[in-house]
Amino acid sequence: MLLDGLISYCGKGSLPKLRISIVTTALTFKEHEIVPFDNGDNKVWFTGEHLAELLGYKDSKKVANLYSRHKDEFTESMSTTAKVRTSKESTGYEYLMSDIRLYSLRGAYLIGMFSRTKVAKELRIWLLDLAEKESNIDIGTLDVTAIARLFFIHRRDGK
């Protein structure tokens, strides 16, 4: 499946169609280099194929099966579907699109929790480190006053 260019987001309900671009920054876990998706929210999203590779599965259906068995534990912010072109020639042809499932860092972590591969534990640690970097807040370096200030700003803004 060719995943270059842009893909269309298939939201639920009356959500508008969004354009999704592929992130150009590769992430490396062990010997595996993965280029995650950026769906416009500046967050990291993985495909089932990405997670299968990182977890050491030969077949990406293993990840799909884990998701299917436990989908009641996933929120929309953890997993979503997207339509992708199946080839360069399919540009402009709606029927030549296929659906893929995407997983956020939290969703990928949950897949890692359900996985029983030897590398799953290491992957979960890597995903948590990645999530911490993505959040851009290092609570360990904040003093008590800075943490209190963040709390009051959060409360003031009604979040």
Q: What is the pLDDT at residue 41?
A: 76
Average pLDDT over residues 29-46: 85
pLDDT at 146: 73
Mean pLDDT across the stretch 70-87? 89
Indicate the SS3 state at residue 61. helix
Q: Which of 21-30, 60-69, 127-136 has the highest mean pLDDT?
A: 60-69
- Report yes or no on 71 lying in a domain: yes
At 101, the pLDDT band (50, 70, 90 cuts) reads very high
Domain carrying residue 46: 6-156
Residue 53 CA from chain centroid, whole number: 14
For strands 37-38 and 32-34, give the pairing.
unpaired
Measured CA to CA, the distance from residue 61 to residue 159 in angstroms comes to: 38
Tokens 């799909």 sit on residue: 64
Tell me whether residue 1 is in a domain: no
Tell me phi and psi for residue 53, to 5 degrees: -65, -45
Q: Is residue 24 part of a domain?
A: yes
Is 19 inside any structural domain? yes
Q: 88 or 68, which is more confident?
A: 68
CB 114 within 8 A of CB 61: no
Helix/strand number for the chain, H first, E second: 5, 8
Whether the per-residue pLDDT at 128 is higher than 90: the answer is yes
The count of domains in the chain is 1
61: pLDDT strictly greater than 60:
yes
Q: Which residues contact 30 (CB under 8 A, 6 or more apart)?
A: 54, 119, 122
For residues 74-101, give the mean pLDDT: 79
The pLDDT-based confidence of 145 (bands split at 50, 70, 90) is confident
pTM of the model: 0.68
- pLDDT average, residue stretch 46-73: 97
Q: Does a structural domain hold residue 80?
A: yes
- pLDDT, the chain, mean: 79
